Structure 1
Amino acid sequence: MFSLTRADGYLLSTDPARLDLDRVHHWLSTEAYWALGRDRETVARAFAGSIPYGVYRPGDGAQVAVARVVTDRATFAWLCDVFVDAGERGNGLGTWLVGAIRDHLDGLGVRRILLATNDAHGVYAKVGFAPVAAERWMELDRRDAAAVPVTPVTPPAGKERTGQSPLTVEA
């Protein structure tokens, strides 16, 4: 586990046992535009499958910020669910948290970290994040899967897949 203490006593920890999942669920499901309405079980499963980062206030140890990273711990990471309690904003906790996460992942050898934000570009830019070359990225967004029928891709009978692409079949 990773931990770091800021000069003013705030503690960052990746110990999943320290997370206040009820509080994290409340923040995400009621205050975070990207996770409004997310149920508690989904929050718990998401954090269980990720590296959790909690920030705890000096003195009472209450959790005041959170983030999680989905990663292979070798080459790639997705930074998500970054949230700082409204009462703690404005004192650099978000920038400190994201910078510490960047440095922790660097120590694991992770060289590419991806994230998405609607409104915190300045926070992330302070620690080195820059816009992506969007034409290189693709996505499969199944959040509204009921509205989009999925047709499996299968090669025609007698045809084998080529080595060019997992979805390319010989014509």
Structure 2
Amino acid sequence: MAHDFSGFDYIIQPGWNNSGPEHWQSHWQQTLAATRVANHDWQTPQLDDWLAALDAAVAAATQPVIVIAHSLGCATVAHYAARYGNKLAGALLVAPADVERASAPAALQPFAPLPELALPFPARVVASDSDPFSLPLRSARMAALWQSPLHWLRDAGHINVASGHKQWQDGLAQLAALVADIRQQAQPRAAACA
């Protein structure tokens, strides 16, 4: 089934160490003609730098922006919303990394703690019940804080190449559902302005 992704600019926000050529984010970047955030340092991420790079990508967009984030990229989007407010049309947040967990690598510490606020734009969270970087309870808590619907994948690891998620065509259905949510929420606003 073909999905209609028109009317938006898509920005790929990878996580720690970027997403390699086989990662679903790289495949989606080509499929959607998306822009990848140009972070200067993927290995030792600095929150301010990552937020500035995401904001630069958003500023360069010519249509409403949907961010497609993975892992640490999801934490980046949460901080972005706290700092910049409602600049996005929406966000798909896949396998959010728990940057507050006791075993979190030191490199992720600049992203903790997560802001505890509802996202000011439509979002969907896709999480795995076997993610080594976020226990199900923590993934559910993040989705609840963000006030975003949560879709569970069974035994999907970190939803990356290591867990077999390369092109991840099934994931595009989650993106399509988010796009439908955004369009539906825009209709009452358009009607009110008419």
- Short-chain TM bin: 0.3 to 0.5
**Higher RCO (C-alpha under 8 Å, 6+ residues apart):** 2
- Report the TM-score when normalising by structure 2: 0.30
- Greater CA radius of gyration, 1 or 2? 1
Structure with greater strand percent: 1
